[in-house]
Amino acid sequence: MVNLDYEELQLVFNKWSQHYGVIPSSEWISIDGKSLKNTVSNYDNAKQNLISCVSAFAHQRRLVLGVKMMSNKQESEIYVVRELIDLLDLT
């Protein structure tokens, strides 16, 4: 996974997940980011640059609705969560 194009993965996954239609307003959605282990070089250094995957998960469907990749030195997770909410039209 070291040479994986994370932006391309994000685009392909989000295109695939759009085939599952409209998200009902009653659906519970969780959004969270997780760092990718292979991008962490020194786990005890708070200032390192790593890649995270922020995903939106639909509980009733048990399905990830969309993902957004981020670099922690370039963006904040809060900003990426807002982008994902807009992308999935969850407002």
Record the pTM: 0.80
The residue type at 67: V
Q: What is the pLDDT of residue 2?
A: 59
- Residue 46 binned pLDDT confidence (cut-offs 50, 70, 90): low
- For residue 23, is pLDDT > 60? yes
The residue-averaged pLDDT of 19-38 equals 83
For the chain, which residues make up each domain, given as ranges? 1-16+29-36+48-90
Q: Which amino acid is at 80?
A: V
Which DSSP state fits 60? T
CA distance 79 to 33: 12
pLDDT of residue 38: 66
Is pLDDT of 1 > 60? no
Is beta strand 29-35 parallel, antiparallel or unpaired with respect to 63-71? unpaired
